[in-house]
Chains A and B, each alone.
Chain A
Amino acid sequence: MGINRRNFFKVAAVTGAGACAALAAPAEASGPKLPEDAGYGMLNDSTRCIGCKACQTACKQVNELPAEGTLDDRGALYDSPRALSDSTYTLIKMHRDEESGEATFVKQQCMHCLDPACKSACLVGAFVKEPTGAVTWDGKKCMGCRYCMVACPYNVPQFEWHKAIPDISKCTLCHDTRLTKGKPTACATACPADAITFGRRDELLRLARARIAAHPDKYDPHVYGENEVGGTNVLYLTKPKVSFATLGLPAFGYIAPPRLTESIQHGVFKYFIPPVAIYAALGGIMAFNQRRNKLKGGTEHE
């Protein structure tokens, strides 16, 4: 599906309509209201990444993840994985922009959305948006339905397809392993090129804008993740000649996906008034028809 600016309007219009239909306040089309303290995040500066994959290795170490053999048919040789998986939470990939032909390395990982679709989707609430900014998963609750995987616009959560008792896995922003112990993320610490900056989200935004202002020739003026899908804690910068879409960061709208489903859902079940009203209405119709049938002396009823 060609992701373009039209999509932004499509979702904005539909969300507005859904919200109105649900008697809720129409969603703002100008941009989401962001929380004042959004916690920590990372700024991934793709213009600086040299593709060394130190972050990828550091991630595997801190999360105790096995290396993946990717050339299985030739005897499980080691190579860099091709996509996120249950044992790869972050991945460096090289992309070539179709128009300019310019090659760029970029880091792929969970965006730690401010209003995460995965969290809204999960029926048992296994996903939590922590005060640190991290989006974490609770294996003691998850039933393995994989609706979170459908919901995530970036296809981040992974499932252990080859285990009898599978987990959902994804980047945790090192929440348990490091953040709560006062340490920055492992990948940011490992990066030798200073391409990953760990910090508070508002400071990262300021830093990103400062970099753009200092080198307008080196940077695209847009900070990806500031508003996309309602804002994310992981932000991205790119070169002027390399579109974000090339890097696997499509031009998503500024409204968080859960706004639509939640407004419909809560409209349909608002204080249980609609279901109770339908119940009462149907009961009335039923009573009326029974009386009429009886008066007619017509068909009997068990």
Chain B
Amino acid sequence: MSKAVALRGKFWTPNVALLVFFMVSAAVFSYFRFFHGFGSVTNLNPNYPMGMWIAFDVACGVALAAGGFTTCLIVEIFGKHKYHALLRPAILTAFIGYLLVGMAVAFDLGRWFYIWHALIYWNGNSVLFEVAWCVMLYLSVLAVENVPAVVEEYKDRVNLPGLLARFNGLVNAFLQVADKVMGKVAVFFVLGGVVLSFGHQSSLGTMMLIAPYKLHELWFTPWSPLLFLMSAIAVGPSMVVFEASLATYFFNRKSEIHLIGDFAKFIPWFLGAFLLARFGDLAWRGALAAAFVPGKYAYAFWVEIALFLIPCVALMNKGVRFHSLKLFLGACSVILGVVVYRFNVFLIGMDMGPGWNYFPSVGEFAVTFGFVAFGVFLYKLAVNYLPILEQQH
């Protein structure tokens, strides 16, 4: 097995400039959000108190970072070490994803300076409490899981710039210790990370069940926690495929199609299980009829199902899985499916009462794009300077 190495390419490319543009425009809107209130930037209103920042930046963000724990599950726990090359990038992206989720939450909190209250004031009855704690803990676990990459790159080579140089010895000693400790405790973090993921991925599905009279019956089900977990597991490998494909394209790397095409064989299984549970639940509750009542709910539902069903069938076919573009499109479809599913539960399926409507404002879009751009920026930074991606000859 070849080793992961830092890419060490040119960092400031035109693509990075584009990312910076999105980040700056988000910063402009954040000025208004933080100093003139939500009303000056968002279209949120009394009946739609949670909007795109929660539905996309948080609810989708958590799901799309699921590549980390699913790959961990497959590689480390089920012992499929042939996919080992996919593990580091998956864990890195998960870490960046959760970091962004944390930032997005802080951004969306009206009283953001009290974010630490979740640590000291506990309401164990609150679903959100559980989500907040799992996300915090899992973010820490992910940070630890990324330590080996840093150790590998910098151990015995610490060379801080300028005045910071006097800390070289200290930092190095720390890396030495981290290296030794990590070898012994990694397994606990691997397991802990997966359990924490199970916890908050499913709890995210419980969140809107607090509003039985607002959530449409196509999505209001006690199975929601299970469905959220299953859909997160299904989207995990798709995210890995998605990232690997983009990395190949943008960093001019050799195609990894043999590896990711093989890895993608998990997707139809996970998706199939999810779809079975989804329809099983609808049939069991007698809610299937609602899917055939023309209107926005039924349309949103069928879009969601189509985005899952098509790749589920297509990716069973080897010819599709080992074709770079088709595989990429299949992964995109699953990812979009999860995004639509989360939007359906958090926004579209929520009838918040008469007289109010919600569609995200320009500012809300700009901030969301800014967060995504920041994530890509961090990813590029990390793979450029840390051994994340496998060396290619």
What is the interface of chain A, defined by CB distance below 8 A to chain B? 1, 3, 7, 10-11, 13-15, 17-18, 21, 83-85, 117, 120-126, 141-147, 149-151, 153, 155, 158-166, 250, 252-253, 257-258, 260-262, 264-265, 268-269, 275, 278-279, 282-283, 285-286, 289-290, 292-293, 298-302
B134 to chain A, nearest CB (A): 10
User: Is A300 within 8 A of B81, CB to CB?
Assistant: yes
User: Is A260 within 8 A of B111, CB to CB?
Assistant: no
Q: What would 8 A/B residue contacts be, using CB atoms closer than 8 Å?
A: A14-B222, A141-B114, A159-B110, A162-B37, A166-B110, A258-B125, A261-B209, A275-B198
User: Is B81 within 8 A of A161, CB to CB?
Assistant: no
User: Is B49 within 8 A of A285, CB to CB?
Assistant: no
User: Is B37 within 8 A of A124, CB to CB?
Assistant: no
Other CB < 8 Å A-B pairs besides A122-B128, A125-B126, 15 of them? Answer: A3-B213, A14-B222, A124-B121, A144-B111, A149-B50, A150-B211, A155-B353, A159-B110, A161-B37, A253-B212, A257-B213, A258-B210, A278-B194, A283-B187, A286-B191
User: Is A161 within 8 A of B212, CB to CB?
Assistant: no
User: Is B118 within 8 A of A143, CB to CB?
Assistant: yes
The main secondary structure of chain B at its interface with chain A is: helix
* B44 lies within 8 A of chain A by Cβ: yes
User: Is B117 within 8 A of A143, CB to CB?
Assistant: yes
Closest B residue, CB atoms, query A288: B79
CB contact under 8 A between A125 and B121, given known A3-B213, A260-B212, A285-B78: yes
* B357 lies within 8 A of chain A by Cβ: no
Assembly CA distance A258 to B206 (angstroms): 11
**Neighbouring A residues of B207 by C-beta, 8 Å:** 147
Closest A residue, CB atoms, query B36: A164
User: Is B128 within 8 A of A145, CB to CB?
Assistant: yes
User: Is B117 within 8 A of A120, CB to CB?
Assistant: no
User: Is B81 within 8 A of A293, CB to CB?
Assistant: yes
**Neighbouring A residues of B128 by C-beta, 8 Å:** 121-123, 145, 147
Assembly CA distance A262 to B128 (angstroms): 11
Assembly CA distance A41 to B38 (angstroms): 34
What is the interface of chain B, defined by CB distance below 8 A to chain A? 1, 34-40, 44-47, 49-50, 73, 76-79, 81-82, 84, 105, 108-112, 114-115, 117-118, 121-130, 132, 148, 187, 190-192, 194-195, 198-199, 202-203, 206-214, 216-217, 220-222, 225, 285, 350-353, 355
Assembly CA distance A89 to B226 (angstroms): 39
From A150, A162, A261, A275, contact of B50 by CB (8 A): A150
User: Is A121 within 8 A of B127, CB to CB?
Assistant: yes
User: Is A150 within 8 A of B79, CB to CB?
Assistant: no
User: Is B39 within 8 A of A252, CB to CB?
Assistant: no
User: Is A142 within 8 A of B111, CB to CB?
Assistant: yes
Closest B residue, CB atoms, query A278: B195
User: Is A150 within 8 A of B127, CB to CB?
Assistant: no
**Neighbouring A residues of B110 by C-beta, 8 Å:** 143-146, 159-160, 165-166
B77 to chain A, nearest CB (A): 4
Assembly CA distance A213 to B352 (angstroms): 36
User: Is B46 within 8 A of A155, CB to CB?
Assistant: yes
The residue in B37, B49, B111, B202 that gathers the most chain A C-beta atoms within 10 A of its C-beta is: B49
**Neighbouring A residues of B125 by C-beta, 8 Å:** 120, 258, 261-262, 265
Assembly CA distance A224 to B218 (angstroms): 28
Assembly CA distance A27 to B158 (angstroms): 61
User: Is B126 within 8 A of A121, CB to CB?
Assistant: yes
Assembly CA distance A15 to B194 (angstroms): 29
